[in-house]
Amino acid sequence: MRQKTVAEILKSSKVDILVINNVADLKSISSIIQNITAVTELHLQKCCSFDACQVAVGSWQQLRSLKVLEFYCIPSMQSVP
The answer to whether residue 19 is domain-embedded is: no
Look at the chain and report how many structural domains it folds into.
1
**Between residues 79 and 35, which one has the greater pLDDT?**
35
Average pLDDT, stretch 4-28? 82
The four Cα atoms 49, 51, 55, 60 give a dihedral, to 10 degrees, of 120
In-domain check, residue 7: yes
In a domain, 32, yes or no: yes
Please give the residue range of the domain that contains residue 7.
1-12+24-81
Q: What is the mean pLDDT of residues 5-34?
A: 83
- DSSP assignment letter at 57: H
Tens digit of each residue's pLDDT (9 = 90 or more) over 43-69: 999 998 888 877 777 788 888 899 999
Is 49 among the domain residues? yes
Q: Tell me how crowded residue 31 is: count the other CB atoms within 10 A of its CB.
A: 10
Predicted pLDDT at 19: 93
pTM: 0.82
In this prediction, what percent of the chain has a pLDDT beyond 70?
94
